[in-house]
């Protein structure tokens, strides 16, 4: 059986060493020494100014919206995981969808301005599959209309644009460290910013708003993470280059074997590096997609329709809107298996089946 993804797990001995320290200290959560160490190591690894380790990527999004005191409408993409949109609604704002670019699969900056109204307060864009948005175009639009920018970089760990971290762009960026991600802490998330004042505000928010044992500085929630999750993050960080290099080999094998495949491959940002987080392909039709899924499933190979369906059509708490490009892509896209110990022979098998289905 070949699943669409599997979590990377390091040698258990390394994790157990951290567990021994947790048992000795009996400090399990509330930003213990391991969580603090992970923040510093990730800040250095990613070369960013300020970074906070939080419960998960969804909480990171919610705190980002709250920290910027956003109201009214937030422009976003319908081609993303539901948390991108639900976080906007959860924080009392209104999502305004803008269609995607059919090549990059990211929000189309050429369509953003026409969606801006007097009630617009921000743009929340997703780096889909880790592919950087057109950050330069979005920055120009945001400055012109005095809007805040949040980037959902759930998939974008380690990606750079023009030599600097993708998380350096916008007012705030978030990242997911969920177990399915290429780098994970089992459950976890990051908030990244260049603004030290904003960082301090979010640090208060992460811990219920406490400013000492008997005082409060902000409206807060419980956005902290545990020492057990931080331990996994620390161990996995030691393997991040190996993870990256191995996934690159797998992606290059897919590229080689599928070079004559008629499906559309996502067009990557011209100045962006890749982290090899996903391998999406857009096939010619939804009918062909179903044939692919059925045949692969019969061979115990599992893909994911990620993202399907379009968020513009299915959320019960929002009115349905027409997003023709997103709806078309969502019907035809699938992510192929990609994980650390996927073998090249398994990649070859997947590719043979896909080519056979297409040619029949």
Cross-strand bridge partners of residue 75: 96, 123
The pLDDT score that the predictor gives to residue 263 is 87
The pLDDT score that the predictor gives to residue 357 is 92
* Closest C-alpha among 117, 54, 111 to residue 78: 111
Question: In angstroms, how far is the first alpha carbon of the chain from the final one?
Answer: 24
For 139-197, the pLDDT digits (tens) are 999 999 999 999 999 999 999 999 999 999 999 999 999 999 999 999 999 999 999 99
Same fold, 12-98+105-237 and 240-359: no
Across the chain, what does the average pLDDT equal?
Answer: 97
Question: Is domain 240-359 given the CATH code 3.40.50.1820 in the classification?
Answer: no
DSSP states of 212-248: STT-B-S---B----HHHHHHHHHHHTTHHHHHHHHH
> What are residue 338's phi and psi, to 5 degrees?
-160, 110
Can you give the residue ranges of every domain in the chain?
12-98+105-237, 240-359
pLDDT at 360 over 80: no
For 136-147, the pLDDT digits (tens) are 999 999 999 999
In a 13 Å sphere around the CA of 3, the CA atoms on its Cβ side amount to 7
Q: Quick check: 120 and 73 in contact, CB under 8 A?
A: yes
CATH number of 12-98+105-237: 3.40.640.10
pLDDT at 249 over 90: yes
């Amino acid at each position: 059986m070949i699943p669409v993804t599997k979590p990377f797990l390091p040698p258990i001995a390394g994790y157990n060493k951290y567990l021994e320290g947790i048992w000795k200290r009996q400090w399990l959560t509330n930003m213990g020494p391991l969580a603090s160490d992970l923040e510093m190591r990730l800040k250095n690894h990613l070369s960013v100014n300020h970074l906070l380790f939080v419960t998960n990527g969804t909480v990171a999004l919610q705190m980002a919206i709250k920290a910027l005191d956003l109201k009214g409408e937030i422009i976003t993409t319908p081609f993303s995981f539901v948390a991108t949109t639900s976080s906007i609604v959860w924080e009392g704002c209104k999502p305004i969808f803008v269609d995607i670019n059919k090549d990059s699969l990211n929000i189309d900056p050429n369509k953003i301005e026409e969606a801006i109204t007097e009630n617009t307060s921000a743009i929340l864009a997703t780096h889909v599959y880790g592919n950087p948005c057109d950050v330069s175009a979005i920055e120009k639009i945001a400055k012109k209309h005095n809007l805040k920018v949040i980037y959902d970089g759930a998939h974008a760990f380690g990606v750079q644009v023009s030599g600097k971290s993708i998380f350096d762009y916008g007012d705030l960026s978030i990242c997911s460290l969920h177990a399915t991600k290429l780098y994970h802490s089992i459950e976890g998330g990051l908030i990244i910013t260049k603004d030290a004042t904003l960082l301090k505000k979010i640090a208060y928010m992460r811990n219920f708003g406490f400013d000492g044992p008997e005082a409060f500085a902000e409206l807060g929630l419980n956005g902290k993470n545990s020492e057990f999750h931080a331990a996994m993050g620390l161990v996995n960080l030691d393997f991040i280059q190996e993870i990256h290099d191995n996934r690159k080999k797998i992606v290059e094998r897919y590229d080689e074997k599928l070079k004559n495949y008629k499906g559309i491959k996502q067009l990557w940002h011209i100045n962006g590096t890749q982290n090899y987080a996903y391998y999406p392909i857009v096939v010619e039709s939804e009918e062909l997609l179903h044939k692919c899924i059925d045949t692969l499933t019969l061979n115990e190979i599992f893909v994911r329709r990620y993202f399907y369906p379009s968020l513009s059509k299915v959320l019960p708490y929002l009115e349905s809107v027409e997003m023709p490009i997103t709806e078309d892509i969502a019907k035809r896209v699938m992510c192929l298996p990609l994980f650390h110990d996927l073998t090249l022979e398994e990649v070859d098998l997947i590719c043979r089946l896909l080519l056979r289905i297409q040619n029949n």
